[in-house]
Amino acid sequence: MAQPYASFYGGIGTVVAGKGVDFANGADAFIIGLSNTAPTAGQAGQTYSAANITEIATGNGYTRGTNIAITTGTNTNASGVYTWVGTAALLTATGAIGTFQYAVLYDNTAATKPLFGWWACASAITMANTDTFQISWASNQILQFSCTT
């Protein structure tokens, strides 16, 4: 059985360093879009758009661009290690939701809607009424990175 994995876009470091994203304790809205088409690390422009990400259709509890929001908590920056924290993202179906295998993370507030990365589920998922889909992180840490010289 294939294992799930995560991948992050190579250009996101430039967006973060250029302050194109505001992690400051909930200042920007981060969204997870669902797709059945595999994203690629070299995605054109590394921004969220219909041309770059083939998101599943709105319906039965899933709404493109608004539904699976990440609530960020108090982020920390200690000794050069930055930790981005947030609660689990949860979707509950109110009817059948089409097949998807990829969950794509992007900033829905920034003008360019930069893509951060995606998670690939072990296999394609189709949801029935009342099914739930959740993405969570160890110790609520979405991402942790450090800058060294």
Where along the chain do its domains lie?
5-139
Summarised one tens digit per residue, pLDDT across range 75-132 is 677 777 777 777 778 889 999 998 999 988 888 887 777 787 788 888 999 999 999 9
Amino acid sitting at position 65: G
* pLDDT tens digits along 49-80: 666 778 899 999 898 776 566 666 666 777 77
Could you tell me where the DSSP H helices lie in the chain?
Answer: 12-17
Confidence (pTM) = 0.77
Sort strands 132-135 and 89-92 into parallel, antiparallel or unpaired: antiparallel
23-48 mean pLDDT: 72
Residue that is written with structure tokens 């969950």 in the block = 103
Residue 94 vs residues 27, 32, 59, 105, 127: alpha-carbon distances, Å:
30, 18, 8, 23, 9
More confident residue, 140 or 1: 140
